[in-house]
Structure 1
Amino acid sequence: MDLPVMPPVKPMLARSVPEVPEAPGMSYEPKWDGFRCVVFRDGDEVELGSRNDRPLTRYFPELVDLLSTVLPRRCVVDGEIVVVTGAGLDFDSLQLRLHPAASRVRKLAEETPASFVAFDLLALGDRDLTGLPFSERRALLADVVDGDLARVHLTPLTTDPVVARDWFTRFEGAGFDGVVAKPDAPYEQDRRVMWKVKHERTADCVLAGFRWHKDGVGVGSLLLGLFDEDGVLHHVGVASSFTAARRRELVEELEPLRRDALEGHPWRGWAEAGASGAASGRVPGGQSRWSAGKDLSWEPLRPEWVAEVRYENVAGGRFRHMSRLVRFRWDREPASCTYGQLEVVAPAELGRLFGGSG
């Protein structure tokens, strides 16, 4: 492979802001809920690069075949790999695609074929385009990506902040993370020169355990649960990102809840069986293709406290990203922490964005 922009490429990033920014020359796009991917094509060679430099090529053979026929023979395209369903974007199905067995990869490629959404063009032919302003790169991208093709899409774009705010609300139900705002500037690898506005809500959860921080002396994350209609406490995610001082404070605060914590604990079966998943409901651990050998052992706490946390969205009954602790709610009973409090957003059809090809 010999391209003017060679792998690995660290994608340009965005920093979070509370509302859609406005500035001359700003462009806006939906924020996709998938795997960031930079596609390198040089003739018959196609490589799919991820944000963390781990190659995605072997996991999405159907995209390799597709992109080798629809993209220009020599190009580098920044975009997102997604799985599109009738109800919106399905991140859980996308995660399942990262499987070590080649036979499983082929089977999933047929059952849940992925799509690619292009939103930037870094190289074309012998030209390195990263020094051009975004508006020029986008115009060239629109010329080379056919937005009507099945499973290859050119991301929608607007320069109107009013439209961007409408997208932020209207397309959330389809699985979009929010809105990205882009300045009319060159492409800068691994720098947060864009802005992102993401959905954020709060929920009251049962505090049922914690994990130690890697420093071994503080709390790294709090394990959170919600009750379903049958009274089963499911693990829904963690709250983390504490300062060093707060991590040490939490050790002292939670100490009373550690005494006899497994006695009657709803996740006792999982704690005693390790990663076998013996407990009912969703449980807080077990190695996965994402954990990459990390220590997922946890300390149980008597489930007597309620933690109010700030989260972005929910997928598969869990918080899609790590949440942040707002406060402990002494005025709430753990039994009141149910899935019913989570805001359910009605799905929006992807056809609003892609027409028939969605």
Structure 2
Amino acid sequence: MADVALPLTPPVQPMLANAVDAIPTDSDLVFEPKWDGYRCLVFRDGADLTLQSRSGKPLNRYFPEAVAALARTLPQRIVLDGELVVAKDDRLDFDALSERIHPAASRVKLLAEQTPASFVAFDLLALGDDTLLDAPGTTRRARLEELITPGDSLYLTPATTDVALATQWFELFEGAGLDGVIGKPASGPYTPGKRTMIKVKHQRTAECVVAGLRWHKDTEPGTAVGSLLLGLHDDRGVLHHVGVVGSFKAAERRALAAEFADLITDTDHPWLVEPDGRRLPGEINRWRGKHAEWVPLRPERVLEIAYSQTEGAAPARLRHNGQFRRWRPDREPESCGYDQLDQPARYDVESVLRGEVRPA
């Protein structure tokens, strides 16, 4: 990575957010849509341009088209905070974005052409020789609006102090693949690495079949559960792997191991037969070169989870791990279907990128 002769040099930790249950109505906040992409800081000093991930690692090799576009459009000396996103079929596509992180240069080049990424700017950290970390959020936003002209894979996130409009965005923009609302202190500074923002994400519930488990990695197999593998039935009655639920306390992990011991099976399990188009656990993917080990359970137990959103083409899967809510002994496993997953109304992501509120 080339040295960047700017008042801020990579790596710089981005400002972070704490989760809250609802959009505050009495706070001094500037609200923005919460983009579902890769957090990215951009450092540009003339010919030197660096894309930095949230963890501090360079992203240039994975997004050469974004580097080229930002070099065409940004001022010569600038540091921005924002998000790399991929839009596909009128909505954000996190799967397509994740596929961009690939070790083969030929694959990166192909995907850069097929699923190009855009950069959505939402904060200004430095310009020329000046740092703006201590400037109020509204000042940084005003300066950013003067600098960014949407287009050529560069966009400016919408922003508002109107709680009613932020609430509308929360409901409407989910249909374009966004996953909530961010609130920034209007008069506060930019605080690298500190959780001085708030985030409100969609929360939903679903009843899922427990059809497998993985043992906790730090214990002897059979003594503690690491995660439970969840399934949902499609409209043909086929059981698909939809995600996992974990984050159990140590005592709960041991109790679950004992509780599920009698349900362990190696025969007559829907995920041990021919795939027939069903989504299975532990499949080989770009992150994992071999099948992940899991233990089949007779699909007889049902639990309720909280989840934020799904991803992927049908049959979909949970975007993040589910959160355990409660056991549902009153539900039959066969009744747990995809029809209970809430599907937001479709919305045109280009409208969001251009700061417009317009139905698709």
Asked whether the two chains share a fold, i.e. TM above 0.5, the reply is yes
Segments of 5+ residues of structure 2 without an aligned counterpart are: none
Work out which of the residue numbers 154, 157, 165 in structure 1 matches 2:156: 154
d(CA) in 1 for partners of 2:350, 2:6: 35
d(CA) in 2 for partners of 1:50, 1:304: 42
What amino acid maps onto 1:230 in structure 2? R
Structure 1 counterpart of 2:175: 173
Structure 1 runs (4+) greater than 3 angstroms displaced: 286-291, 293-296, 354-358
Work out which of the residue numbers 311, 323, 326 in structure 2 matches 1:315: 311
d(CA) in 2 for partners of 1:112, 1:318: 21
d(CA) in 2 for partners of 1:39, 1:108: 21
d(CA) in 1 for partners of 2:33, 2:211: 35
Structure 1 counterpart of 2:262: 256
Shift in Å, 1:283:
1.3
Structure 2 counterpart of 1:113: 116
d(CA) in 1 for partners of 2:224, 2:130: 51
What amino acid maps onto 2:169 in structure 1? W
Kindly report which structure 2 residues correspond to 1:63-102, keeping only aligned pairs within 5 A, or say none. Answer: 63-102=66-105
Structure 2 counterpart of 1:243: 249
Work out which of the residue numbers 189, 202, 206 in structure 2 matches 1:186: 189
Label 1:75 to 1:290 Cα distance change in 2 as closer, same or farther (>3 A).
farther
d(CA) in 2 for partners of 1:352, 1:341: 28
Of all paired residues, the percent bearing the same amino acid is 53
What amino acid maps onto 1:255 in structure 2? A
Conserved 8 A contact 2:155-2:354: no
3-state DSSP class of the match of 1:171?
helix
3-state DSSP class of the match of 1:345?
coil
Work out which of the residue numbers 189, 203, 208 in structure 2 matches 1:205: 208
3-state DSSP class of the match of 1:268?
coil
Conserved 8 A contact 1:26-1:181: yes
d(CA) in 2 for partners of 1:337, 1:77: 45
Conserved 8 A contact 1:232-1:280: no
Q: What TM-score do you get using the length of structure 1 for normalisation?
A: 0.91
Work out which of the residue numbers 5, 12, 19 in structure 2 matches 1:2: 5
Kindly report which structure 2 residues correspond to 1:26-65, keeping only aligned pairs within 5 A, or say none. Answer: 26-65=29-68
d(CA) in 2 for partners of 1:295, 1:211: 13
Q: What TM-score do you get using the length of structure 2 for normalisation?
A: 0.91
d(CA) in 1 for partners of 2:210, 2:330: 14
d(CA) in 2 for partners of 1:123, 1:171: 29
Structure 1 counterpart of 2:232: 226
Label 1:327 to 1:25 Cα distance change in 2 as closer, same or farther (>3 A).
closer
Shift in Å, 1:300:
1.6
- Bigger shift: 314-323 or 127-136? 127-136
Counting matched residue pairs gives 347
3-state DSSP class of the match of 1:53?
coil
Deviations 1:283-310 (A, max 9, x none): 111454446x899422221111111111
What amino acid maps onto 1:236 in structure 2? V
3-state DSSP class of the match of 2:42?
strand
What amino acid maps onto 2:296 in structure 1? P
3-state DSSP class of the match of 2:229?
strand
3-state DSSP class of the match of 2:9?
coil
d(CA) in 1 for partners of 2:116, 2:39: 16
Deviations 1:39-64 (A, max 9, x none): 11111111111112232111111000
d(CA) in 2 for partners of 1:176, 1:248: 37
Shift in Å, 1:248:
2.1
Structure 1 counterpart of 2:347: 348
Label 1:324 to 1:295 Cα distance change in 2 as closer, same or farther (>3 A).
farther
Shift in Å, 1:122:
1.0
Label 1:53 to 1:212 Cα distance change in 2 as closer, same or farther (>3 A).
farther
Say what the alpha-carbon RMSD is for the aligned residues.
2.1
What amino acid maps onto 2:240 in structure 1? H
Work out which of the residue numbers 267, 271, 283 in structure 2 matches 1:267: 271
3-state DSSP class of the match of 1:103?
helix
Shift in Å, 1:9:
1.6
Segments of 5+ residues of structure 1 without an aligned counterpart are: 271-277
What amino acid maps onto 1:333 in structure 2? E
Structure 1 counterpart of 2:333: 334
Shift in Å, 1:3:
1.6
Deviations 1:235-273 (A, max 9, x none): 111112222222222222222212xx1211111258xxx
Work out which of the residue numbers 298, 304, 314 in structure 1 matches 2:300: 304
d(CA) in 1 for partners of 2:298, 2:9: 53
Conserved 8 A contact 1:34-1:81: yes
Deviations 1:296-345 (A, max 9, x none): 42222111111111100111101111111111211111111111111111
Shift in Å, 1:163:
0.6
d(CA) in 2 for partners of 1:125, 1:151: 22
